[in-house]
Structure 1
Amino acid sequence: MADFSFKTNFMIIDSLENASKYYSVHPRFEKAFEFLKSQDLNALEVSKFQIDGADLHAAVSAKEGVTPEVAKFEAHNNFIDIQVCISENEKMGWSTRSQCTDPKDPYNAEKDVIFFNDKPGMYFELKAGQFAIFFPEDVHAPMIGDGVIKKLVIKVRKD
């Protein structure tokens, strides 16, 4: 069995059934994934959830997918994203922040986001029940696909 007791600062892609393997990656991950386990994801309505105050919160969205050319290419300084695909497939773009050199605007501290004009270095697809974890070093372009994409994003304060 693999040892996941190390600290990581790189994107993770896996299925919810394997979530417990990542509890030790960050002190708040166990609580985040336990929240996910306690929910009937398909029954969740579009809404926001407080899990542990400002340090751990979630939002469910259901929006029309976009093309890769329109997808927002973003990164966060203070939060880690756990993005869970609930229904449909969701394609995402990714690059490491060190490869992104063309910010669209300055960092927005209030929303903890910076957008880039750069293009992703790679794309991958999540299916229902899969998740991606994006650390501050990861620039990501979510919501790429056809039809309505329903997802849950947990924001985990990095410190």
Structure 2
Amino acid sequence: MILDTLVQAPQYNALSPRFAPAFAFLRQVHESTPLGRHEIAGEEVFAFVQQHATKPVAERKFEAHRKYIDIQYIVRGRELIYWAPLPLLTTVTMPFDEKMDAALFAGIPEAVPLQLRPGHFAILFPADGHAPSCAWEEPTEVLKVVVKVMV
């Protein structure tokens, strides 16, 4: 898991050749970017621009992926993403679904809250269980981008 700001993003390009186009897309995102799926590099890199209300962590499930790395970026608003190493998430609520590239898990008290504000991103690898879109202090509207980067 990596938590940083978009200004610092170029230093992570060495981790994957697919990160450079992902971060280039994020640098172009603004408040009026259309919601929905955006193609970046076919099935290797694509993004979802989303607007939603955050929810209390008790209402969120942890998720994990196998095929894609998530880069979750905040455009407007703020949210918490709770993080936990995948081996600690032992209560499976939805077994891994190949088509969705996701498994869901019940939360754990040891989860670490990551605070994301506009301009912040979190890179979440397959070993990173995460519960996104959690309310920071109270539920609020968030405009965010989730870039899916093939492993």
Fold shared, TM-score > 0.5 on shorter chain: yes
Aligned pair partner of 2:142 in 135, 146, 149:
149
Corresponding residue for residue 78 of structure 1: 67
Aligned-residue offset at 1:111:
0.4
Bigger drift between 145-154 and 118-127 goes to 118-127
Distance 1:130 1:118 in 2: 23
Corresponding residue for residue 110 of structure 1: 99
Q: How does 1:1-159 map to 2 (within 5 A)?
A: 11-37=1-27, 39-119=28-108, 121-145=111-135, 146-158=139-151
Distance 2:59 2:142 in 1: 15
Letter in 2 for 1:28: R
Residues 14-57 of structure 1, C-alpha deviations (whole Å, 9 max, x = no match): 000111011101120011111222x1422212121010111110
Aligned-residue offset at 1:122:
1.1
Higher strand share: 2
Aligned-residue offset at 1:72:
2.1
Residue identity (%): 33
Deviation beyond 6 Å, 4+ runs, structure 1? none
What are structure 2's unaligned runs of at least 5 residues?
none
Distance 2:83 2:124 in 1: 9
Residues 82-133 of structure 1, C-alpha deviations (whole Å, 9 max, x = no match): 0001111111101000111111121110000000013252112100010000
Distance 1:35 1:124 in 2: 23
What are structure 1's unaligned runs of at least 5 residues?
1-10
Would you say the 8 A contact 1:82–1:134 is kept in 2? yes
Letter in 2 for 1:89: R
Would you say the 8 A contact 2:3–2:114 is kept in 1? no
SS of the residue corresponding to residue 14 of structure 1 reads strand
Q: How many residues were matched structurally?
A: 147
